[in-house]
Amino acid sequence: SRTVVAKVASPSQPRSMAIASDGKSLYVVNYDSDAMSKIRTSDMQQLQRVPTGHHPIGITYDKTDHRVWVACYAGSLYVFDDAAP
């Protein structure tokens, strides 16, 4: 029915999203704040905000290794371990 069922505030200019293989976490790169947000999908609460390189624009989740890969406009790649606390 195209009804909004959940909403979460995000830092400036969210660009791309990736969801963990278990569906419990959503990762969002925030272009202007040079950071990645980890959001719990059950209640849409931000769990973590992690600095990235300058202007992150792309993100993907590796379900085999449980890693989050972030590409930044400035020409760098970052890899984060989803299993780390």
Q: Which fold has domain 14-81?
A: Thrombin, subunit H (2.40.10)
The confidence score (pLDDT) of residue 85 equals 58
pLDDT tens for 19-74 read 999 999 999 999 999 999 999 999 999 999 999 999 999 999 999 999 999 999 98
* Cα separations in angstroms, 68 against 7, 18, 42: 22, 8, 20
pTM: 0.89
Q: How far apart are CA 75 and CA 85, in angstroms?
A: 27
Q: How far apart are CA 4 and CA 73, in angstroms?
A: 31
Residue 29: name the closest of 8, 58, 69, 7 by CA.
58
For the chain, give every domain's residue range.
14-81
